Amino acid sequence: MNNANKPTAIVVCPGRGGYNKPELGSITRKHPLQTQQLQAWDNARKAASAATVSELDQAARFDFKQHLHAENSAALIYAAGYLDFMALERDYEVVAITGNSMGWYTALACAGVWEPTRAMTIVTDMARNTADAKGAQLIFPLVDSNWKPLPAYHQAVQQVLQQHPQELFESIHYGGYILLSGTEHAIQAAAASLPRVDERFPLILPGHAAFHSPLMGEAVNRALAHWPVDEFRQPQRPLIDGRGVIWQPPAVDLGQLRDYTFHHQVAETYDFTRALQVSINEFAPDNIVLLGPGNSLGGATGQTLAAMGWRGINDKDSFTREQEQGRAPVVSLGLA
């Protein structure tokens, strides 16, 4: 516990898939006093010829085609996460920030690397940029229903990767799951050959390109050509990236941070599991705070803690017990 008597926390920012039908209206409802920031974001979105955060969040009904469109989903997820972060600082001493996939952009804004309104412009541009990429993405479990490792599933994934060299790649290490990216052909072949689990997996993710793979090369080139190092400032808090590398202020090389953000983060494997493990081991937080919208990070976070054996958590049952008995190490701001 620190001198301010606030619990310490690492903050975790969600990636794609956080804002769904249950989250409709949550930004305006949870943050009614943030009208100035919302207006600034709306102006930035208008300048980019995109639907505004306000009109999307305040829509009368959830329109799957509109709300899950890449550039709209990204804006809603970033806005919700950033406003959650601004609110939680009253109650926690934030010692480090990390995220999953697109959550890296939210993490940069929360850490002060990007001014929040400028970050909306970058988030919108990168969503458009990567949405144009080819390929597809699927998710597959590596643990059983109680979060215990299943070596046979891991072996099946390795076999299918070997069968499709240069076409199929490890995209995201996500707690007890792995996401694979690749060409449409390779993803379809992998989905057909991997074991069927719970009548749900392997699951090809609709609307997803081959994120975090070499197939994003064109998106990398466009991003590096468009966004100069001048957009980056020294972070105000440590950041842990998708390799588990710690960016520790005030000694961050902003040129290297830019190159990681628009190159490695886009076209190489994003190891969310390792990012979370490093954050916990290096900063020993009292709590792990998951930003909204939604609770998409809850399962992967719990699975990572179980694999680490953190605070006696070694499976789903022990994680659930800790959460239910008032000793919740994980606080999800996206839950009602």
32 and 167 co-located in one domain: no
pLDDT of 3 over the 70 cut:
no
Q: Side chain identity at 17, as an amino acid letter?
A: G
235 and 119 co-located in one domain: yes
pLDDT of 274 over the 90 cut:
yes
Check whether the bond before 165 is cis (ω within 30° of 0).
Answer: no
88 C-beta neighbours (distance < 10 Å), count = 18
Contact indicator for 283, 292 with CB cutoff of 8 Å: no
Check whether the bond before 293 is cis (ω within 30° of 0).
Answer: yes
Beta bridge partners of 122: none
pLDDT of 32 over the 50 cut:
yes
Beta bridge partners of 288: 10, 330
Q: Is residue 1 part of a domain?
A: no
Q: Domain count for the chain, please give it.
A: 2
Q: Side chain identity at 188, as an amino acid letter?
A: Q
* Residue with the larger pLDDT of the pair 107 and 322: 107
pLDDT number for residue 89: 83
Residues in the chain: 336
Radius of gyration for the chain, computed over Cα atoms and rounded to the nearest angstrom: 19
pLDDT of 2 over the 70 cut:
no
Task: For residue 279, give the CATH number of its domain.
Answer: 3.40.366.10
32 and 117 co-located in one domain: yes
pLDDT number for residue 325: 81
Average pLDDT over residues 239-247: 98
DSSP 163-181: HSTTTEEEEEEETTEEEEE
- For the entire predicted model, the pTM comes to 0.96
Structure tokens at 95: 């010692």
pLDDT of 167 over the 60 cut:
yes
Average pLDDT over residues 31-54: 96
Q: Is residue 3 part of a domain?
A: no
113 and 21 co-located in one domain: yes
Q: What is the 3-state secondary structure (H, E, C) of 210-271?
A: CCCCHHHHHHHHHHHHHCCHHHCCCCCCCEECCCCCEECCCCCCHHHHHHHHHHHHHHCCEE
169 and 192 co-located in one domain: yes
Query: Which of 14-18, 35-39, 263-267, 324-328 is predicted with the least confidence, judged by mean pLDDT?
Result: 324-328
Structure tokens at 50: 């995109």
pLDDT digits (tens, 9 = 90+) for 189-206: 999 999 999 999 999 998
Q: In angstroms, rounded to a whole number, what is the distance separating the alpha carbons of residues 94 and 301?
A: 18
- Chain centroid to Cα 282, Å, comes to 20
Of the residues 182, 209, 236, the one at which a domain ends: 209
Q: In angstroms, rounded to a whole number, what is the distance separating the alpha carbons of residues 209 and 303?
A: 25
Q: 150 lies in which domain range?
A: 136-209
Query: Which of 102-106, 252-256, 302-306, 329-333 is predicted with the least confidence, judged by mean pLDDT?
Result: 329-333
Q: Spell out a b/e string for 131-142, using b for 16 or more CB atoms within 10 Å of the CB, else e.
A: bebebbbbbbbb
Q: What is the 3-state secondary structure (H, E, C) of 64-88?
A: HHHHCCHHHHHHHHHHHHHHHHHHH
Of the residues 162, 182, 209, the one at which a domain ends: 209
103 and 237 co-located in one domain: yes
Q: Is residue 125 part of a domain?
A: yes
pLDDT number for residue 207: 84
**Quick one: DSSP state of residue 149?**
B
Q: In angstroms, rounded to a whole number, what is the distance separating the alpha carbons of residues 18 and 101?
A: 12
**Quick one: DSSP state of residue 325?**
T
155 and 298 co-located in one domain: no
Contacts of 7 (CB under 8 A, 6+ apart): 1, 91, 92, 93, 285, 286, 287
Task: Burial-class residue 168 by CB neighbours within 10 Å (0-12, 13-18, 19+).
Answer: buried
pLDDT digits (tens, 9 = 90+) for 76-128: 999 999 999 999 988 999 999 999 999 999 999 999 999 999 999 999 999 99
Structure tokens at 211: 């994120």
Within 13 Å, how many C-alpha atoms sit on residue 142's CB side?
21
pLDDT number for residue 1: 45
